Amino acid sequence: MKSIQELRERRAAKAQEARKILDDNTGDKWTPRHGEQVDTLYAEIEAIDGQIRRLEKAVELENENKLDIIKPGDIDPKSPKALFNKWVRQGDQALSAADWQVIRNVMSTTTGSEGGFTVPSEISSTLYDAMRAFGAMRTLAEVFRTADGRPLSFPTSDGTSEVGELIAQNVTATGQDPTFGTVALDVYKYSSKIVAAPIELLQDTTIDMESFIRKRLGQRLGRINNQHFTTGTGTAQPRGIATGSSVGRVGTTGQTTTIIYDDLVDLVHSVDPAYRTSRSAFMTSDALMRVLRKLKDAQNRPLWLPSWEAGISRGVGASHGGYSSEDSVAPFDLLMGYPIYVNNDMAVPAANARSLVFGDFSYYKVRDALEVQMFRFADSNYVRLGQIGFLAWSRSGGNLVDTNAVKHYAHSAT
């Protein structure tokens, strides 16, 4: 069986071949034979993508259930990570006064109620990194942290229609005050649900239980965050980007599950050029992505351009569109010259569904309040089953602060 890297190299070669055909045969040079050649290459690329996805899923499942081994000397025994690991295994009573002082020095708040533990910033940052890996919202949005969770009104101002003036000598300048507004950016409490760990694993000092538990809690919080940052209603939960964006294009009658080339053109140009920056991108579900990959322009040339560059191929970090190679979620490929990201919390094609959004996602603001707080349960409900329970709480919110920056495509109602 070929490795993932070998499959990616093979995919890159096929994509490069397809791109060369497209680049060398523009306008009148394009013939049905070229279309057949490209269609064949695209089918091979899609088959390779399927192999890569299956292998990546197998690796993901293997890693999810894999318990890393701690080697002697891997962790400084006085580091926050080591002390946090000690607390995970043995609880509050295992930490000395000096240990607690080290912990408090790297926390934004003091220890919570009995059984609680405010995660040190060193650990908290890696937990938030784990949360970024689900969907794409934490990768594309602008994320910031506040010292408390009080209600916050985020200031907004749209200056796209404001222009200066040409003025003669000794003539008084005209006044034009900018218009300011505010958007609520409140935070909401999220639970990871309780993770129960067998006591045997906690007693085995070679198992990196801290990393295992942190990763699992981060995955759960990341998934619920991404759901709400994508389609949240804004009532008792964050307002998602699909919910908060304004209409860019509505499909014509009959397009309840489809989209056409003209829709994409209109959607892109519904966003003011001031917002069509290097950070602009598309976001959709895998279900609509399948439809988009089959679209062709008036010359029967595919709209989806398979990227052969190592930085753009699916599953590899990108250095395109303002997103660095350190981003947790890489763009799938390019559509009309813009990166397109798959987020399966977006609506699938259906009547009235907002299945595709486009624009500058940095205008979606994600707010995290304080650090994550974790609780360790060693009461009889768990001990009698030979387990210790762990639960994480986080406070996060999100909102699109400028509805002109991101627009959506909505399918027809009928």
Query: What is the reported pLDDT for 214?
Result: 83
Give yes or no for residue 332 having a pLDDT over 80.
no
How far apart, in whole angstroms, are the C-alpha atoms of residue 223 and residue 236? 18
- Higher-confidence residue of 108 and 119: namely 119
Express as a percent the part of the chain with pLDDT over 90: 38
- Using an 8 Å Cβ cutoff, are 130 and 219 in contact? yes
Q: Could you tell me the pLDDT band of residue 69, with boundaries at 50, 70 and 90?
A: low
Give yes or no for residue 396 having a pLDDT over 90.
yes
Give yes or no for residue 41 having a pLDDT over 80.
yes
Query: What is the reported pLDDT for 82?
Result: 79
How far apart, in whole angstroms, are the C-alpha atoms of residue 369 and residue 109? 11
Q: Could you tell me the pLDDT band of residue 314, with boundaries at 50, 70 and 90?
A: very low
Mean pLDDT comparison of 25-39, 54-68, 111-125, 222-236, highest-scoring range: 222-236
Q: Where are the alpha helices (DSSP H) in 93-208?
A: 97-105, 121-132, 137-140, 199-203
Query: What is the reported pLDDT for 115?
Result: 45
Q: What is the rounded end-to-end Cα distance, in angstroms, of the chain? A: 47
Q: Could you tell me the pLDDT band of residue 79, with boundaries at 50, 70 and 90?
A: confident
| Average of per-residue pLDDT across 248-261 | 95
| Average of per-residue pLDDT across 201-206 | 76
Query: What is the reported pLDDT for 270?
Result: 97
151-190 pLDDT per residue, tens: 888 877 666 667 788 888 888 888 776 666 778 899 999 9
- Higher-confidence residue of 29 and 177: namely 29
| Average of per-residue pLDDT across 369-389 | 87
Express as a percent the part of the chain with pLDDT over 70: 81
Query: What is the reported pLDDT for 113?
Result: 39
Q: Where are the alpha helices (DSSP H) in 173-328?
A: 199-203, 209-231, 241-244, 261-270, 286-292
| Average of per-residue pLDDT across 237-248 | 96
Lowest mean pLDDT among 52-61, 343-352, 372-381: 52-61
How far apart, in whole angstroms, are the C-alpha atoms of residue 307 and residue 280? 17
397-410 pLDDT per residue, tens: 999 999 999 999 99
- 105, 132, 154 from 137: Cα distances, Å: 31, 7, 19
Q: How many CB atoms lie within 10 A of CB 236?
A: 8
Question: Average model confidence (pLDDT) for the chain?
Answer: 82
Give yes or no for residue 367 having a pLDDT over 90.
yes
Give yes or no for residue 72 having a pLDDT over 70.
no
Give yes or no for residue 238 having a pLDDT over 80.
yes
- H or E segment and range at residue 82: helix 80-90
Lowest mean pLDDT among 88-92, 285-289, 305-309: 305-309
Residue 177, CB-side half-sphere exposure with 13 Å CA sphere: 3
| Average of per-residue pLDDT across 357-365 | 96
Query: What is the reported pLDDT for 173?
Result: 84
- Higher-confidence residue of 136 and 79: namely 136
Q: Which tokens sit at 92?
A: 């509050």
| Average of per-residue pLDDT across 350-373 | 94
Residue 174 CA, chain-centre distance (Å), reads 44
316-327 pLDDT per residue, tens: 333 334 444 344
Query: What is the reported pLDDT for 272?
Result: 93
Give yes or no for residue 119 having a pLDDT over 90.
no
Phi/psi at 22 (5° precision): -65, -40
Query: What is the reported pLDDT for 256?
Result: 96
- Higher-confidence residue of 178 and 114: namely 178
